[in-house]
Amino acid sequence: MKDVIVIGAGMAGLTCAQQLKQAGLDVTIVEKSAGVGGRMATRRLQGTWVDHGAQLISVKSDDFGRFVRKLQDKSIVKEWTRNVYQLSSNGLTPPAANERHQRYCCPHGMTAIAKYLASELEIINNARIVSVNHRDQKWQLLSDRQELMETRAIVSTIPAPQFLPLFEEVLAPAPSFLQALQSVKFAPSVTIMAGYNSSYEVPEEWQAIACVNDPILSWISHNSSKHPDTSSQPVFVFQSTAPFARQSMDEADLEIAGKPLLNQSGRLLAPWLASPEWWQVHRWRYALVEESLGVSCLSTKIPIPLVCAGDWCAGKTIEAAYHSGIAAAESAIDLLK
Q: Which domains does the chain have, with CATH numbers?
A: 2-38+116-184+292-335 (3.50.50.60), 56-108+186-289 (3.90.660.10)
H/E segment holding residue 235: strand 235-240
Q: What distance in Å separates the CA atoms of residue 316 and residue 325, rounded to the nearest whole number?
A: 14
- At 24-37, the pLDDT tens digits run 999 999 999 999 99
pTM for this prediction: 0.96
Q: What is the pLDDT of residue 137?
A: 95
Average pLDDT over residues 31-56: 96
Per-residue pLDDT at 248: 87
Burial of 143 (0-12, 13-18, 19+ CB in 10 A): middle
Q: Please write down the long-range contacts of 58-67, taking CB distance under 8 Å and 24 or more positions apart.
A: 58/101, 58/102, 58/103, 58/104, 58/317, 58/319, 59/102, 59/104, 59/319, 60/319, 61/319, 61/323, 63/326, 64/319, 64/322, 64/323, 67/322
The CA-CA-CA angle for residues 90, 278, 241, to 5°, reads 40
Count other Cβ atoms within 10 Å, centred on residue 122. Answer: 14
Q: Could you report how far apart the first and last alpha carbons of the chain are, in Å? A: 17
What pLDDT, on the 0 to 100 scale, is given for residue 232?
84
Helix (H, G, I), strand (E, B) or coil at 232: coil
Residue 242 to residue 240: CA distance in whole angstroms: 6
Burial of 169 (0-12, 13-18, 19+ CB in 10 A): exposed
Backbone angles phi, psi at 247, to 5 degrees: -65, -30
Give the pLDDT of residue 52.
97
For residue 295, which amino acid is it?
A: V
Q: How far apart are CA 240 and CA 245, in angstroms?
A: 6
Output the DSSP codes for 268-324: HT-GGGGS-SEEEEEEEEEEEESS--SSS-EEE-SSS-EEE-SHHHH-SSHHHHHHH
Confidence of residue 249 (pLDDT cuts 50, 70, 90): confident
User: In terms of DSSP H, where are the helices of 88-157?
Assistant: 111-118
- Tell me if 39 sits within 8 A of 109, measured CB to CB: no
pLDDT at 229 over 90: no
- What DSSP string describes 33-78? SSSS-TTS-EEEETTEEEE-S---EE--SHHHHHHHHHHHHTTS-E
In the predicted model, is pLDDT for residue 163 greater than 90?
yes
8 Å CB contact between 76 and 106: yes
The share of the chain scoring above pLDDT 70, in percent, equals 100
How does residue 48 score in pLDDT terms, banded at 50, 70 and 90? Answer: very high
Q: pLDDT digit string (tens) for 83-141?
A: 999 999 889 999 999 999 999 999 999 999 999 999 999 999 999 999 999 999 999 99
Query: What's the mean per-residue pLDDT of the chain?
Result: 96
Q: Are 103 and 79 in contact (CB under 8 A)?
A: yes
Q: How would you class 74 by CB atoms within 10 Å of its CB: exposed for 0-12, middle for 13-18, buried for 19 or more?
A: exposed
Q: Stretch 187-202: mean pLDDT, rounded?
A: 96
Provide the pLDDT for residue 187.
Answer: 95
With a cut of 80, say whether residue 256 has pLDDT above it: yes
Banded model confidence at residue 291, pLDDT cuts 50, 70, 90 = confident
**pLDDT at position 12, please?**
98
7: pLDDT strictly greater than 90: yes
**pLDDT band at 21, cuts 50/70/90?**
very high
* pLDDT per residue as tens digits for the range 55-68: 999 999 999 999 99
Residue in 203, 237, 261, 208 with CA at minimum distance from that of residue 49: 237
Buried b (16+ CB within 10 A) or exposed e, 27-46: bbbbbbeebbbbbbbbbebe
